[in-house]
Structure 1
Amino acid sequence: MSKEIIFDPTPLYLRKRYLIYILGFFGYLNLYTMRVDFTIAIIKLTENRTVNNEDGSYTYEQHFNWTNEEKGIALSTFFYGYIGTQVIGGYIATKFSGRLVFGTGILGAALMTFFTPILCYQGISYLYVSRIIIGICSGLSYPSINAVYDKWCPPYERSRASSFGISGVYVGTIIGLSLSGYIAICHRWEWIFYGFGIIATVWSILWFIIIKDSPADDDWILKSEKKFLLDSLNLVESTGTPWRAILTSLPVYAIGIAHFAYCWGYNTYLTIIPLYLQDILEYDTNGHHHTVITSISYILITLLLLPSGYLADWLQVNNYLSTTQVRKFFNNISFFLQMALLLMSGYFKDLAAVITCSSLSVGIGALAMSGFLANSLDIAPQYSSIILGLSNSFAVLPGVLLPVLSGHIIRTPADYEFKSMFYIACAIYLFGFFFYSIFASGKVQPWANLNRQSSISLEILESDITSQGVSRENSKFRKNKNEC
């Protein structure tokens, strides 16, 4: 298949789409700081505080005397709103505006986060409602970024754009947990919510001012980049959502099953590994050291995301691998290594070895972000938000099912019971590996190919751009390519 390869003569530091990628990263970062802050704040809200009385005695009191059941409900209500809004968010973003849904969702979560302290004092029922609304706003926002990438991201920048954006999830988790803990100890607990709420609100204002729905609507973009984007993307409006085709498409199922397998392994790390360390290796998982150890895995995956995304794009640009081959290669090498490292964790009895293997297992998951996560932009760019919403809804299930399953299997607890959980995780990884290998595709699907023939964009060296300047004419040439 012959495709036109278009160079972008715009200097790297003047490319508007790179600003969109950066703001997308910070958008995800804000979403996750507001998601995890409550898990730290609730400890401060319900802990016993020492109060010195005038007579020299002291008593204990709590900010809020909530029962364990009430605390459990408060922690879970976020997911009540989050699970059911993924597909809705993707559909609205596709139908109307990804920019609007992404920005509005984060702004809504920011406002509810800011008012959380006031609602806590009003009663725990008000807190439940606020956490549900934050979940709804987060669920609407999460998949909608793909509708923005659809309008702004050239085909051969999709891996790095997706990887860089999703790295905000892990950076946001680290920052959210760390800063919440610091604020809870050194300042008033209310500032956990005030701080993250204000920061996310400022981000939302910048997002709406700077970002436009498409290059054609943007008056601030350089003409050279606008021409490049319009030529390389050849944007068209979708005439409707082909639900039947989406729901019966094997490449879509491949993305969903891979996403489910990835999240099952990730939740095994979050849920089973701490229990294994505590019950089998007799390591205190409630201490400060465990928090540091957990952060290592997030740092690893963050550091690997951008290089792996860039490498995936580079392999396509230089015609070493087709889009389909790149997606399968990165996804499957990630699943194979994660499976092996997770299984090794279950056989080691040395603390350092278990922590190393399990942390590497999470970190190597960065490769899969250039596999299944970016794949929806390949097979159906204009419907990628819907597909991401569907797959992420499916991927939430391991967080619900795995704790229940572990409660039935891990009873003693004994070493063989934990091995059973690791075997199950490996089996799911293996199923995801083979299903994705067989049915995944990097080609635009027939039901999504509505007169939309995306050209292939190539990066040019910054030194070439600097020497030749923005006035350089848009260079074009033909290159044979077997597959998108």
Structure 2
Amino acid sequence: MQMDNRLPPKKVPGFCSFRYGLSFLVHCCNVIITAQRACLNLTMVVMVNSTDPHGLPNTSTKKLLDNIKNPMYNWSPDIQGIILSSTSYGVIIIQVPVGYFSGIYSTKKMIGFALCLSSVLSLLIPPAAGIGVAWVVVCRAVQGAAQGIVATAQFEIYVKWAPPLERGRLTSMSTSGFLLGPFIVLLVTGVICESLGWPMVFYIFGACGCAVCLLWFVLFYDDPKDHPCISISEKEYITSSLVQQNGFLSSLPYLFAWICGNLAGQLSDFFLTRNILSVIAVRKLFTAAGFLLPAIFGVCLPYLSSTFYSIVIFLILAGATGSFCLGGVFINGLDIAPRYFGFIKACSTLTGMIGGLIASTLTGLILKQDPESAWFKTFILMAAINVTGLIFYLIVATAEIQDWAKEKQHTRL
């Protein structure tokens, strides 16, 4: 009788684990940036709400002390509106660059330095208000850009830190910090303004941000395999669930795309050699299949896939069936301009690369809104682009050699 030498599976740490601790750290980062963003909305009332004229000689000592603790400024309503909205300008401007560069550069450095910058600017807002309103606007705009970096780049963390079966819990734990931050601001700002003065609101949240930033640089690593403090069992659990599973699943669409591509080539030539369809009919048929099938599978994914395996199947079909274009638009240039086919392919490849760049950035922006349901919007947008491109191709496509592409014959008289 042969003994089973397999070791029992190791117990993987659950809620009390390092990955959940890092998710809570991201949660704290989100609390800080939303608190720093929202606190001016409340302190603005104290900063400008004054019915006493400034600088009168009979002002009491108590009022002088109050003015030192709570300095007030003659900002008109339109100036207040500009100050309050300046943060949004920074957030809007930074979104597209961050969505692109977050997948290229170190997430640790991007979030850490952005959180540090936002916290330092929070400390600088009270003295900036004393210098002039323009400085407050500049501080808030740059602070908004820094907060936008933290809010957007953090989703790149879960590519390497979140096992597939825990992504919902980890992302919800961290993003819930966006909701807790305003609650804390509403709870404590009034008390701080009354007892310590409104500048202390910015000093306190700025100091808290600096402390969290220090913890961030100490505790967070871009890749779990590089972290010196995580346990071996948890490290193996995270890396094995992402590298092995993602590697295998990510390879399946290419396998099926290879099958569909070869099938398209065989069928297209079969239809032509048997005179079943004309050349242009074959090109339009396989182009329609290569555009419509991925769109259909992508749109059906949110509604017809209820299990993990059904999701995988729909994703594979959506990615693989696009290879039917190999028998259609992919070689249509050879029909209309064989002399310039290489140049046509170079131009179309360049256009496709630009489209891929835009798609990656746009997907990152959509995903930022909601890490889970935003994928549905992405697939619907993909389907709309496919259908629009297909309609245009079906209208203008031809398979006859164009006059400008015909080789000219030179004869002697």
Tell me what 1:177 maps to: 186
Q: Distance in 1 between matches of 2:149 and 2:378?
A: 30
Structure with the larger RCO, 1 or 2 (CA within 8 Å, 6+ apart) = 1
The 2-side partners of 1:153 and 1:41 are apart by 38
- The within-5 A match list for 1:259-278 is none
- Verify the 8 A CA contact 1:92 1:101 in the aligned structure 2: no
Residue aligning to 2:380 = 439
Structure 1 residues 4-153: aligned runs within 5 Å: 9-12=11-14, 15-48=17-50, 50=52, 54=58, 63-153=72-162
Instruction: Deviation per CA, 1:275-331: give whole Å up to 9, x if none.
Output: xxxxxxxxxxxxxxxxxxxxxxxxxxxxxxxxxxxxxxxx968x8x85899xxxxxx
Taking a change above 3 Å as real, the CA distance of residues 33 and 234 of structure 1, as seen in their structure-2 partners, is: same
Aligned length, in residue pairs: 270
| 1:329-376 Cα deviation digits (max 9, x unpaired) | xxxxxxxxxxxxxxxxxxxxxxxxxxxxxxxxxxxxxxxxxxxxxxxx
Q: How far off is 1:8 after superposition?
A: 6.4
Of 346, 357, 366, the residue aligned with 1:391 is: 366
Note the C-alpha offset of 1:384. 11
Name the counterpart of 2:166: 157
- The Cα shift of 1:39 comes to 0.4
Task: Give the distance between the partners of 2:84 and 2:12, measured in 1 at CA.
Answer: 47
Q: Give, in whole Å, the separation in 2 of the partners of 1:35 and 1:323.
A: 40
Letter in 2 for 1:142: A
Contact 2:112 2:216 in 1 (8 A): yes
Q: How many Å separate the matches in 2 of 1:210 and 1:147?
A: 17
1:31 CA displacement: 1.0
Q: Which of 190, 207, 223 pairs up with 2:216?
A: 207
User: Match of 1:63, SS?
Assistant: coil
Question: Could you tell me which amino acid in structure 2 is paired with residue 186 of structure 1?
Answer: S
Instruction: Go from structure 1 to structure 2 and tell me whether the alpha carbon gap of 1:391 and 1:187 turns closer, same or farther (over 3 Å shift).
Output: same
- The answer as to whether partners of 1:147 and 1:385 remain within 8 angstroms in 2 is no
Q: Map 1:293-312; keep pairs closer than 5 Å.
A: none
Cα RMSD for the two superposed structures: 4.1
How far, CA to CA, are the matches of 1:139 and 1:84 in structure 2?
Answer: 9
Structure 1 unaligned spans of 5+: 1-5, 239-248, 259-314, 326-382, 396-431, 442-484
SS at match of 1:212: coil
Q: CA deviation at 1:436?
A: 4.9
TM-score by length of 2: 0.57
Give, in whole Å, the separation in 1 of the partners of 2:312 and 2:200.
46
Structure 1 residues 183 and 131, CA gap change in structure 2 (3 angstroms): same
Rounded Cα–Cα distance in structure 2 between residues aligned with 1:55 and 1:163: 53
Q: Is the 8 A contact 2:99 2:361 kept in 1?
A: yes
Judging by fraction of residues, say which structure has more strand.
1
Asked if 1 retains the 8 angstrom alpha-carbon contact of 2:13 and 2:234, the reply is no
Deviation string, structure 1 residues 232-276 (Cα, Å, up to 9, x no partner)? 1118999xxxxxxxxxx979x99xxx9xxxxxxxxxxxxxxxxxx
Alignment of 1:314-333 (within 5 A): none
Residues 1:8 and 1:46: Cα distance change in structure 2 (over 3 Å):
farther
Q: Distance in 2 between matches of 1:55 and 1:440?
A: 64
Q: Secondary structure at the match of 2:158?
A: helix
Specify whether residues 141 and 186 from structure 1 end up closer, same or farther in structure 2 by C-alpha distance, changes over 3 A only. same
Partner of 2:349: none
Query: Which has the larger displacement, 141-150 or 188-197?
Result: 141-150
Q: Is the 8 A contact 2:295 2:379 kept in 1?
A: no
Structure 2: state its 5+ residue gaps: 1-7, 251-293, 315-357, 383-413
Structure 1 position 56, deviation (Å): 8.0
Task: State the structure with more CA Rg.
Answer: 2
Give distance in 1, aligned partners of 2:179 and 2:101: 26
Question: Match of 1:218?
Answer: 227
- How big is the shift at 1:34? 0.6
Q: Report % sequence identity.
A: 24
Conservation of the 8 A alpha-carbon contact between 2:22 and 2:220: yes
Map Cα deviations across residues 442-474 of structure 1 (whole Å, 9 max, x no partner). Answer: xxxxxxxxxxxxxxxxxxxxxxxxxxxxxxxxx
Output the CA distance in 2 between the equivalents of 1:157 and 1:163. 10
**Secondary structure, in 3 states, of the residue corresponding to 2:102?**
helix
Residues 328-339 of structure 1 correspond to what in structure 2 (within 5 A)? none
For 1:71, the aligned partner's letter is: Q
1:118-143 Cα shifts (integer Å, max 9, x gaps): 11111111001000011110111111
Residue 90 of structure 1 and its aligned partner are, at CA, apart by 2.4
Question: Following the alignment from structure 2 to structure 1, what is the Cα–Cα distance between the partners of residues 188 and 359?
Answer: 34
**CA, structure 1 residues 189+385, in 2 after alignment: closer, same or farther (shift >3 Å)?**
farther
Task: Report SS of the residue matched to 1:84.
Answer: helix
Instruction: Report the Cα distance in structure 2 between the residues aligned to 1:228 and 1:384, rounded to whole angstroms.
Output: 32
**What are the superposed Cα offsets for residues 90-142 of structure 1, whole Å, 9 maximum, x if unpaired?**
22221012222122211111110011101111111100100001111011111
